[in-house]
Amino acid sequence: MIALILWCLILYLFYVIAAPCMQYLSGKASLGSKLMVALGPRDSQPFMSPLAQRAARAHTNFAESLPFFLTLALLLLHTGKADMTGLVGAKIFLGSRVFYFPAYLSGVPGVRSVVWMIGAAGLVMMAVRLVA
């Protein structure tokens, strides 16, 4: 379970980095001017392409679900209930989060929602194991 927690945090770090990179480094301006905006105080925000907006929303969604995953994972470890059901639920959540970012960026209707529901099912499996 600890390895899954660490991989989830590494994946979250990717989300944290990817969204602003897409926002600050996309566009028609020269690379130098883009870097000046990205490295500066960011008083004025650059135009966000629809793709960068999706990346930002994907990051926000992960930020909203990560506390639930971490709480459930740590409670499973603490109570000694991190057995097969809890581990499978954690793996499902992590796997869904690997696919969530590209699914969201793709813009294909319904794909993001299905991937999100799969991740939510993983969280439910972890919660069920915790209360069982």
Indicate the domain borders of the chain: 2-131
Region 29-39 average pLDDT: 75
Beta carbons within 10 angstroms of residue 21's beta carbon: 13
> Per the confidence metrics, is the pTM higher than 0.85?
yes
State how far the Cα of 64 lies from the Cα of 16, in Å rounded to an integer: 13
Region 4-12 average pLDDT: 97
Return the CATH number of the domain spanning residue range 2-131: 1.20.120.550
Place of tokens 């927690």: 5
State how far the Cα of 54 lies from the Cα of 105, in Å rounded to an integer: 6
Q: How confident is the model at residue 21 (pLDDT cuts 50, 70, 90)?
A: confident
Region 44-54 average pLDDT: 84
Q: Can you list the alpha helix ranges (DSSP code H) found in 2-132?
A: 2-25, 31-39, 50-79, 84-106, 111-131
Region 31-57 average pLDDT: 82
State how far the Cα of 84 lies from the Cα of 38, in Å rounded to an integer: 44
Higher pLDDT, 1 or 36: 1
Do the beta carbons of residue 67 and residue 5 sit within 8 Å? no
Higher pLDDT, 23 or 33: 23
